[in-house]
Structures are given as C-alpha cells and as structure tokens.
Structure 1
C-alpha cells in the first residue's frame, strides 16, 4: 500500500488494499489478455504513482520534516476529496461517525509511521516491512494451513532484511527505529483495511473516504505545525505537498476506482503485492537508493508470500 496511499478496500483479508466504495464484480465477457490489459495497466500505474509520490515526499522532508510532509499530504488530499465528493454530514448515525473517526485515526497513524520510516531507511525495505501487516491479516483471517507457508516465506524475507549489512536481528545497517516505524505502519495498514471496508459499507461512493481523510488531516496538523511551523506555508513547499497528495492519494485512488470496475478484487490485491518492488525502483531512480542482492531477494520473498496468500484466499472462495 502499500507506500501507504489513502485507498480504501472492500476486502478485509488481502495482502494489499483496494478501494472500498466501489462495488466489485468480475469483468464481463471473455477474460482474455487484451480485455484485462486496460485495468491491469491502471493498477500498475496507480502503484507507480503511489511509490514515486513517496519518493517525492522524501525529497520534501528536509524542508518540513516527516510530520510536515504528512500534514501537507493529508490536508491537500482531504481538500481535493471534499471538493470532489461533497459528502453529506447529516443523516449519519453515531456508529457511522465512529467508523469514520476510527478510519481517520488509522489513516493518520499509517501515514505518520510510514513517513517516519522512510525518513530513516530506504523506500524499498520500508514498503517491504510495511506490507507484512496486511499479509499477517490475510493469514489470520483465512485460517488456512497453507498460508502458514506464505507467512514463513515472508518471515524469511524479513530475516534477510534484518541481517542487512551483517547486523543479525538488529537490522544491520537499517536504522532500528526506521524498521520499527515501518512495522508499525504495517499494523496500522491492517487496521486501515478493516475500517476502510466498514466505512465503504456505511457511506455511498467515496463520501466516507473524504470525511475520514479530513479527520486524518486534522489529527496530523498539530504535529506538522510543531515540526515545520511557518515553513508549511512556503509556496514552493506547498506546491510540492500538493504534488505528493496528488501522486500518493488522489491520482492512484482514481485509477484504482476505474480499474476495479473491470478487475476482480483478488487480482487487484495480487497486483498491489508488487508495490515493494515498485518502491525499490522509485527509491533507486529518484533517491539513488541502491539495493544489495540480499535486499532484492528479501523483497522478492515478501512479494511472493503476499501473492501466494492472496491466490490461496481466492481459491478458498471459488465454488467447488
């Protein structure tokens, strides 16, 4: 998610998130390669947008810090979504608002922890550690023995990352605090998936997402102001913050919304499992963060585990 984007999900158990407010159905007609290329291209484009947006955020951090970047991103994304969706604030129950509040809290926590992570460790390893949260949720909810295999494969990838630089389980040359922040972001991503699904069931279209994004922006504001102060209002910094919001939230959400009209959610989740690789590529091209062979193997193991977990969950749901 995913560098974590503000993307809700309809499925509470995949290894990656998918937009919740969109009714999902398998694509009509033949499922040939040509028919699927369009939505697949949209999903991959969304992943590229998210991870290059995260890379841009890392470049903005020297100006306003990690908390400042989170504030800029969430505030800009909330403003855009509120203007586009114009959600109704009346007629909702207390339970509806409680769900939106929980969704907003998890969104703020997920973004805050993730950007603290990428401020300390390379983008590829950060996303790899983060994706363990949704993967663990998939394994726990599915209760299938085969998913223990995928969990073990992912654990192998983490062990390789933890030995990064020969430091054993101390995460080697990876900053331990950065690794801990990435793992915490993964926990919040798992919670985000749960509350995103609940929000999608309670609110029409993307209204719940817009309201939750506003909650997340309000929660992040004090930390951003404390860290960056008036630097948040520098025009060039504001422009970069809007760019991060568009690349990491607004554009990928729109692309996924279009893709999921023709793409089943499990296929979407498998494609989203590629995000650690996209993140590593973005880190290399934009931030010049080179990965060792061991790092690349670790990321590949986690990607394989995520894809395997989603595929086994898909087989479970298929009628006999």
Structure 2
C-alpha cells in the first residue's frame, strides 16, 4: 500500500499512538495495540512510539465484564494523537459513545491517522469517516456492515485495508498483521522484522490475503509448508521458481498451489515475490546503495524490476525508500 498517501499530523517528539477504550471493548485487540506500539524495544535500542490509552469515562468495563480498566487518561488525550486507534467491541448494533465519535471526527479533521481493528470499522463508519472509502471488517459481520453503511466500499475477504490515513483490519489476529504493516510503513522492513520476531509472529502477511482459511486437521505425513518456506528464504537470491518449490516439497506445482492457498491464503509466486521485496528493503535499510546489487541479492533480477515492485508495494522508489529508512535516518 502507498506509504506516501497518508497526511498524518505530527506532534513534537515521537509519533504518538493513542488507543480509545470504550465500554465492552475487546481485550485482545487492546493487547495487540499495546504489544506492537506500546513496548520499549531493547532489541532496537529505543521506543518506536509514544503510546497512550484513554477512555471517555474514568473506568471502562471490558468485554463480558472480564475486568475493569481504570487509571488511564481522559478522552482529551485523543486530541494529541498522530495515530488514533478506535474502540472495537462485539455488540456491533449498540451505538458508540457520542464523545468517542466526536473525538474520531476531530482527529480526522486535523489529519491524524485512524485505525480500526476488527469491529472498530463500525466505529469509524458511525463517525462518518469511511464514507466513499475502502475498508474491511471481520467476515462474520460483513453483511451487517454493508447494510448499515452502504456508502463504504467494503472489501470483506482481505486481512486489512490501508487507505493512507484510514486503515482497517478484519479479525483479531489481523490486528497484529495491520500493526506490523504500520510499523513497516513507519520504520521500514528491518524494524518490523525485529518487532515480529519478538512477537514470534509472521513478519509480513499482505493485506490482500484471505481472511478465512480452511485449516483441516493435517494428515500424516505432515503437510506443513514451514520446511519449504525456510528452505526458500535461505535462497532468495537464486532463480527459484514455483516448480523448484514444488520439487523441494515433493509435490506437484498444482498441489503446492493448493497448499499455499489453504495454509497461507496466497499463491507460491506472490509469497516468493513478497519475501524478495522484504529482503530488498532490508538491504537498502542496511546501507546497500547499488540498486542493481539489491535486485540481484534479493532475487528480483534487475533494478527496473526492483523499482516497479517497490513503487507498487510501498509507494516509494528505491532512492526515496533509502532516504526515508536508510542508515542515519533515525
């Protein structure tokens, strides 16, 4: 998704991420936001964001009364957010707190980046900031969302949608995918990979992958793709083809394609291209300035192919990416 398409208002100091917690919010998505944006990163040597929680009331009873959240800032903290993550909750038919919707509208008006995890898309839509824009929501609620908000261009079968300054994620786990995508957009592939390793989570699943992936109980022998993925990741500079991956997995290309669709929600070629592009970004971030070398070492072939893929996937030419994420840019 284009990195240059958002126009995010910035405060002095680190980029400030604020999460609004409302009554009956889901703890999991709150935990995802805290893990991705709120922790100090000793493996990186700094905190990536200034992270805060806020709520419209002094205390917020979380989903199903699991616990009560207290001691967080008032809703006025949302007015200083560079990125505002809106509340999500399972009771999608109950109107959101009017003060929360007003805070979302103010954030939108001043150019803050808005993020909705799971049913948070309902909050954004109810505030009116998704009209005429693409968004996604958990597949379970797609029909309800489409009925209530017909002016939103719903994309119901993707993990997340990045529309520049408004981003939405589908189900709970997709909140981590979108969170890492935002880190990658803000700080580059190397930092995002470091965060994902600490989370023990896949470094990058593209937003266009399917939400709902059938996962039948595996037969014996194990049909996991992990061995062939690890093998390919060590050989990205080689001229690997789908046929090579299939041969390594001892299956036909058609069977490999079915397994990729079932287990990863993508195709072997799309996965291979994504891995090569991530490697290319990391090489640039580490200081490699010769784009022909980057293209060769990442398996993308030529500098022209590198430029085309980077523009398509990041919105930046390699030279612009180097200026933004290369050595000495922190």
Tell me if TM exceeds 0.5: no
Structure (1 or 2) with the larger CA radius of gyration: 2
TM-score (norm 2): 0.25
Q: Which has the higher strand share?
A: 2
